[in-house]
Structure 1
Amino acid sequence: MAVRPGYTPPSGSALPPNAACKLHKSLYGLKQASRQWYAKFSSVLIHAGFTQSQSDHTLFVRRTDSAFLALLIYVDDIIIVSDNTSSVTELKTLLSCHFKVKDLGPLRYFLGLEIARNSSGISVSQRKYCLELLRDVGYLGCKSVSVPIDPNVQLNQDSGTLLDDPVSYRNLVGRLLYLTITRPDITFSVHKLSQFVHRPTTEHLKAAHRVIRYLKSNPGQGLFYSAQADLRLQAFSDADWASCPDSRRSVTGFCIFLGSSLISWKAKKQQTVSRSSAEAEYRALANTTCEITWLLKLFADLSVSIPLPISLFCDSNSAVHIASNSVFHERTKHIELDCHVVREKLVAGLIHPLHIAAEHQLADIMTKAIPPKLFHSLLSRLQISNLFLPDGSSRFDGGVLATCGASQHPRTIVTDYERHETRKHDLTIAGSTEEQTQQPAPI
């Protein structure tokens, strides 16, 4: 680090040219602190036999004949997952020898996420964070709305008048961004609002307050990860062609399921203008394929085997044909080469693009503002749960989502959304029974 102004060297010595101070101990507030802490922590784990994941550098994994151990770190907050209690105890002892550690017990609350679990599965929500947001904005007593964004309102950069103080809008959008970790239903709305943080107007703030009013209707909503779900991936990819009124770029949306549990989703504006809806859908397929490839590497690090090929559903027949047929050169020669990763992974047997009817396209909720009836129909299929309903249950009706064809072979997709009849009572917090003491515990 640079020598502080006013520093005087000891008598009889002089500072050399371009003198600097050598950091002996990492301190909070210094630029080097985070790097030094992470280097020290990772070196301790690697010497203990852990392997650092190349898909996520905050994930460390160790597998032996008797136990599997995974550790996830965010700054100085750590989650430990294992199928062997003694391995967790051994790791805690190791960390205590090198760092000051506070054991928080079974995982209940982590960085704003509220986790509850029982034999049926795991529920993750951000109810406390959502209620604090409502309180800070002053909307605890507001009237709720049924959808986060009005489908009849088209926002653009010139909507309304400029705000005198844009900081409040930016802070609000930033807090909503963190809420999308467990709320896929507001992903597109927050994506839309994020485009105006550099120059927010009264209309943009009004739209942001509408999202808050939507959250008021169900602040405890979260995601449920079933313990009985099949270990198979299936993805839905969609694009809204030229939907941005300012740039005429399309919006990509996808959602990926592990069994019936939603594990990855995104809404993002494409980097360039597409000449047709088929091209926009094909670019969306490319983004979804890259996400699938990353997830497969992550599952491999966790020693989880995923059967191939992975079903990738798209509601554009043209995009599916472009991915499957390499002779469409005249139609695709202007598309960037990296988009053809879809075709490469298809040939490699990694994915299997399939057509799906538009009314069954789950990724639709990530690409556009849709009417309340369709919005809640799609939302009910995303494995949404709420532990805070008055009757103490979070059941929902599922069944077969759709039957659609690829070529001449019909295929049933997203089947058996479990009715979770065993969840007629609230999920108990981990560690409340003898069985749950075997569950992974954080530090």
Structure 2
Amino acid sequence: MVYVDYLVLTGNDLAEINSIKQLLDKKFKIKDLGDLKYFLGMEVARSSKGIHLCQRKYALDILKDFSFLECKLASTPMDYTSASKLSWKSGTALEDRAPYRQLVGRLLYLTNTRPDLAYAMGRLSQFIDYPTDVHLQAAHRVLRYLKGCPSVGLFFLADNDLKLIRFSVVDWATCADSKKSITGHCFYIGKSLISWKSKKQDTVARSSSEAEYRALALATCQAQWLSYIMNDLGMPLTESITLFCDNRSVIHIATNPIFHERTKHIEVDCHTARNQHLSGLTHLMPVSSSNQLADFLTKALAPGPFLSNISKLGLLDSHSPSLREAVT
């Protein structure tokens, strides 16, 4: 991985890595910083149990720069009672829009290791052009949430199987301005979260089933791409990718080769999901809404459900007692 003049080398052959470093040093006179510990604001802690990736210093810098180091804590990134009502018409337009844009831009970079912020930042980034005092207040709530857990990040288990699992969910027609649906999906390798997305759909769905079909097609394409990546890394999948969906009608149509007349307008998406299912790449499975791990990517949840959902993502706090034992 290369960013300007910073390089990260990785692989399972230490001799080959050392050979590449010697070659680079001969050509460009590089400085070898040793094992990866800090890169572009991301902190890496490694032990025999796995690797923890977080952005604690970056998060604390944001809190300091916006004077929120001593703020009152919030239990969730967004207020579940008002998040769905956020729109272009909410509040009074800000005279100086630069602080809001700067804050949202910096918080967006945090989502590289903080999936718990993905939905909130997806919503707040929609108002960059015309932010209001209500939008700024919502962004400040993200800072109050961040103050309580700046060290949370991804944990990749060393002892993990290579089975790829995906959860997909949609919140139908929840955008207050466009009535578009919010799609959310997350992928795991074993118990480790590796990919997630919270995104507003491009078109307005005429039914919740249509929205779910399109979400399934998007996640299927992502599953196919991840299978290519794993194959390139020398870790080909040995089992079908399990796709969990909490809408049984979606599973029925995706696995049924005979389409009903009413589904013609979404036939392309159905074929995308169905063809990969029939090829054996994916295996569709139902899941209850209470066990839908991608739910936090489509809506603002109450504190109880939010914390329950987040606890199943494999996120760990580098300053919690359990992780301090793991990385020492």
Question: Given the two structures, how large is their TM-score scaled by the length of structure 1?
Answer: 0.72
1:150 aligned onto 2:50 = no
SS at match of 1:192: helix
Q: Indicate the residue corresponding to 1:62 in structure 2.
A: none
- SS across alignment from 1:209: helix
Question: Which of 213, 217, 228 lines up with 1:297 in the alignment?
Answer: 228
Aligned to 1:64: none
Instruction: Determine if contact 1:387/1:426 at 8 Å carries over to the other structure.
Output: no
The residue aligned with 2:146 is 215
Residue 338 of structure 1, CA deviation: 4.5
- In structure 2, how many angstroms separate the alpha carbons of the residues matched to 1:348 and 1:250? 29
Partner amino acid for 1:309?
S
1:282 aligned to which of 186, 191, 213: 213
Contact in 1 for aligned 2:37/2:45 (Cα 8 Å): yes
- AA matched with 2:60: L
Q: Report the Cα distance in structure 1 between the residues aligned to 2:273 and 2:234, rounded to whole angstroms.
A: 25
- Give, in whole Å, the separation in 1 of the partners of 2:282 and 2:3: 32
Provide closer, same or farther for how the CA distance between residues 124 and 251 of structure 1 changes in structure 2, counting only shifts above 3 A: same
- Of the structure 1 ranges 336-345 and 325-334, higher mean CA displacement relative to structure 2 is found in 336-345
State the partner residue of 2:241.
310
Q: Which amino acid aligns with 1:314?
A: C
Distance 2:262 2:159 in 1: 44
- 3-state secondary structure, aligned to 1:156: coil
| Equivalence map 1:300-379=2 (5 Å) | 300-335=231-266, 337-338=268-269, 340-379=271-310
The structure 2 residue matched to 1:238, chosen from 169, 185, 188, is: 169
- Could you tell me how far apart the structure 1 residues matched to 2:23 and 2:262 are? 59
Partner Cα separation in structure 2 for residue 331 and residue 94 of structure 1 = 62
Show structure 1 runs of 5+ residues with no match: 1-71, 395-423, 429-443
* Cα pair distance change 1:426/1:150, threshold 3 Å: same
Amino acid of the structure 2 residue aligned with 1:216 = K
Task: Say if 1:311 and 1:353, in contact at 8 Å, map to a contact too.
Answer: yes
Counterparts of 2:108 and 2:312, CA distance in 1: 22
Contact 2:254/2:270 (<8 A) preserved: no
> Deviation per CA, 1:225-275, whole angstroms, max 9, x where unpaired?
101111110000000000001100000000000000000001000000101
2:9·2:17 contact (CA, 8 Å) conserved in 1? yes
Q: Report how many aligned residue pairs link the two structures.
A: 326
Looking at structure 1, the residues matched to 243 and 317 of structure 2 have their Cα atoms a distance apart, in angstroms, of 28
Structure 1 match to 2:16: 87
Deviation at 1:336, TM superposition (A): 5.8
Letter in 1 for 2:97: P
Deviation, structure 1 residue 339: 5.1
2 CA distance for matches of 1:339 and 1:141?
50
Counterpart of 1:179 in structure 2: which amino acid?
Answer: L
| 2:66 aligned partner | 137
1:180 aligns with 2:80: no
Structure 1 Cα separation of the partners of residues 2 and 267 of structure 2: 36
Partner SS, residue 106 of structure 2: helix
For residues 43-54 of structure 1, the aligned pairs below 5 Å read none
After superposition, the C-alpha distances for 1:57-104 in whole angstroms (9 at most, x for unaligned) are: xxxxxxxxxxxxxxx222322111132322121111111222231211
Q: Report the equivalent of 2:94.
A: 163
Distance of 1:177 and 1:283 partners within structure 2: 25
Aligned to 2:195: 264
Do structure 1's residue 99 and structure 2's residue 28 form an aligned pair?
yes
Q: Distance in 2 between matches of 1:190 and 1:258?
A: 25
Deviations 1:163-200 (A, max 9, x none): 00111111111111100011111100000001110110
Deviation readout 1:358-406 (Å, 9 max, x if unpaired): 01000101000111100000100000111212xx323xxxxxxxxxxxx
Q: 1:326 offset after TM fit, Å?
A: 2.4
The structure that is helix-richer by fraction is: 2
Distance 2:225 2:24 in 1: 30
Q: Matched residue of 1:236: which SS?
A: strand
Q: TM-score, normalised by structure 2?
A: 0.97
Q: Pairwise CA RMSD of aligned residues?
A: 1.2
**Which consecutive segments of 4 or more residues in structure 1 shift more than 6 A?**
none
Report deviation, 1:425.
1.6
CA distance in structure 1 between the aligned counterparts of 2:48 and 2:326, rounded to whole angstroms = 12
Which segments of 5 or more consecutive residues in structure 2 lack a partner in the other structure? Answer: none
**8 Å contact from structure 2 (residues 214, 269) kept in 1:** no
Identity of aligned residues (%): 50
The CA distance in 2 between the partners of 1:201 and 1:384, in whole Å, is 32
